[in-house]
Amino acid sequence: MTVAGFAPFYLFAVPVATLAVLIVLWRRAAGRRAAALIGFSFGLGYFLTGVSWVYVSLHDFGAMPAPLAGILTLLFCAYLALYPAVTGWIYHALGPRSALATLAALPALWTLAEWLRGWLFTGFPWIALGYSQVPASPLAGYVPVLGIYVASLATVVTAGAIVTLWANWKDEGERMKAEGRRLIGKVTARRNGNSFFILHPSSFIVRRLRFLLHPSLFILAALLASGYALQQLDWTAPEGEPIVVSLLQGNIPQEMKWRDDKIEATLEKYRRLVDSSNARLIVLPETALPLFLHDVPQYYLNGFASHSRSNGGDVLVGVPERTDKRDYFNSVLSFGASPTQTYRKSHLVPFGEFVPLKPLFGWFLDVVQIPLLDFARGAQTQQPLAVAGQRVAVNICYEDAFGAEIIRQLLQATLLANVSNVAWFGRSIAPQQHLQISQARALETGRYMLRATNTGMTAIIDPYGRVRKVAPEFTESIVTGVVQGRGGATPYVRWGNTPIVALALLLALAGGWLALREDGKLRDLPNR
């Protein structure tokens, strides 16, 4: 159910509801082990539903035997499920019926767990809870301020406030029933042989009105109202003249992409698509040219450059690049009116673009058929590409899942561009999820995001995270539109993830300590 909050469904209220149910189950758990098991079960279902496309990549396109691909996908999701399991264990240890534990410590613990998941072992921040709130939820207003993880924190606070209010309403009702029974027993009179009861004047209305004054309600109202108010702000300003851009979607089937007998047809398709566009900036997908750069005919690249100069701009081309040292990179190069420039992918996909700890995992190379499985890393900090009168911060595929790395090219950049080959995921929900991740990056930075993909979702995203144009999946398409470069910096661009991590640590420590003190557990904690 929680996955319904993410693309392609965008039902941002659903994760709040499912998380509220999870919190209720944690509150009712018999002990810490039970709470951890509940968290693990929730996480396993969450990730098996949300990232099941890992199996598609391994089996359908990586040629891994189905049983092994299934086992590895299950193990991967089980690893990811450990994060909500640990979160549930700690939350229960703090005293789950404490409002402080629910409204402060738990949101902080969840946020820290997501941040750690997005960093540990090179990181896997996919379907972090905050993405479910982008772009329409009021909680998305916090994203330009503190990044996607603050939306995760706000989502858990919202769910916790709902649970706290519900619990308070329920407890108040039980107290009223008990008090009513006592009053009825005491205040009974007889008149003319008939019994009548005198009810306490504040038995319902006054007591129920106290519910409206509960702090959780004020927290919930303030959270939603502040998020909505922040959505009305422009954190960046237009810079320079608008330009016309074209984003090319070649729709090359993954099983055909690297076949020698299909390379010529692929080159011809992208030559035709480029020649059909008069946009000042043309963007091709990741590894659009399935050859090393030095193997691409020079006349072919000269054709790109000549056409782009005639448009007064440039074309960005995804193509693998090999150096004299025999290292090869997943690169994007520019050709056209501006000098040729290069961006090399830095954050590689483990087991997709490189094999970590080869002495331990070298066997992986023998059971999959993934071309170019040993890329070298580009520099962590690279300058935006000065093309078509803009400064374009390029990122390649998986890189746009890491907001703190995207901002390395800012403040200088006026546009963002993501090039991807999501054909690896087949007809799964992964391309739509990836689109939503790009929406979050646009919102965090206050800049247009241009997405050029092989099979979908090729799209233009505005600085508010809204999709302005998108190509249908699995079609040959050109997405053309006018975009405006933006200058300036959102708070997130200036500070990155440091403030939200610090805030979460502070809330976890302060909320946890106060919750333990409130429940009288500090004295006997070491013995528990």
Of 436, 419, 442, give the one whose Cα is nearest residue 343.
419
Q: What whole-number distance in Å separates Cα of residue 83 and Cα of residue 88? A: 9
Q: Is there a contact between 54 and 79 (Cβ–Cβ < 8 Å)?
A: no
- Concatenated DSSP letters of 264-324: HHHHHHHHHHHHT---SEEE--TT-S-S-GGGS-HHHHHHHHHHHHHTTSEEEEEEEEE-T
Q: What whole-number distance in Å separates Cα of residue 47 and Cα of residue 148? A: 18
Catalytic site residue from 114, 353, 397, 444: 397
Q: What whole-number distance in Å separates Cα of residue 168 and Cα of residue 171? A: 5
Half-sphere exposure of 92 (CA within 13 A, CB side): 25
Q: What whole-number distance in Å separates Cα of residue 366 and Cα of residue 368? A: 6
Catalytic site residue from 77, 114, 257, 286: 286
**Catalytic residue list contains 444:** no
- Concatenated DSSP letters of 2-57: GGGGSTTT--THHHHHHHHHHHHHHHH-SSHHHHHHHHHHHHHHHHHHHSTHHHII
Catalytic site residue from 345, 353, 399, 444: 345
Contacts of residue 35, defined as CB under 8 A and 6 or more positions apart, other chains included, come to 26, 29, 88, 89, 91, 92, 96
Q: Is there a contact between 245 and 481 (Cβ–Cβ < 8 Å)?
A: yes
**Catalytic residue list contains 241:** no
Distances (CA, A) of 8 to 11, 229, 285, 400: 9, 26, 21, 18
**Catalytic residue list contains 397:** yes
Q: What whole-number distance in Å separates Cα of residue 393 and Cα of residue 385? A: 7
Of 319, 262, 261, 243, give the one whose Cα is nearest residue 288.
319
Of 238, 135, 146, 274, give the one whose Cα is nearest residue 448.
238
**DSSP-based helix, strand, coil % in the chain, nearest 5:** 55, 15, 30
Active-site residues, by number, are 286, 345, 397
